[in-house]
Amino acid sequence: NAGVTQTPKFQVLKTGQSMTLQCAQDMNHNSMYWYRQDPGMGLRLIYYSASEGTTDKGEVPNGYNVSRLNKREFSLRLESAAPSQTSVYFCASSQGTGSSPLHFGNGTRLTVT
């Protein structure tokens, strides 16, 4: 039982390059989330998927797109990376009921030069 798995763990991009961050969960959770974490700013919600087939914007969606491929997988795409997107990206999942705790992966550390 791996929980939430994120790939890759580390990535360096040049400005303008694109990439997709992958996330998969094996807990049969309904909801999945993408957060970014920057020093002193806490975790900020980028996009979320309340259930398979639905996605919606969070607090900081600009420059990102997401795909809920199936119930297990939720990917985050950067179409044209910018230095401001240098961050640690966390994927999380939950049952999706109001107070369900989030289960996080161990993050992808992205540097954009």
Q: Which residues bind other proteins (CB under 8 A)?
A: 4, 31, 33, 35, 40-45, 48, 50, 58-59, 90, 92, 94-107
In whole angstroms, the minimum distance from the beta carbon of 30 to other proteins comes to 9
Nearer to other proteins (CB atom), residue 17 or residue 102: 102
Name the residue nearer to other proteins (CB basis): 1 or 14.
1
**Residue number with CB closer to other proteins (80 or 100):** 100
Least distance to other proteins, CB of residue 59, Å? 8
Helix intervals (H) in the chain: none
Distance CA 35, CA 52 (A): 18
Q: How far is the CB of 66 from other proteins (least distance, A)?
A: 14
Contact 52, 43 (CB under 8 A): no
CB of 27 to other proteins, least distance (A): 13
* The pair of three-digit structure tokens given for residue 53, joined into one six-digit string: 């087939």
37-45 contacts, C-beta under 8 A, 24 or more apart = 37/87, 37/88, 37/89, 37/90, 37/107, 38/87, 38/88, 43/90
Phi (first) and psi of residue 23, to 5 degrees: -145, 135
Q: Which is nearer to other proteins, 78 or 92 (CB)?
A: 92
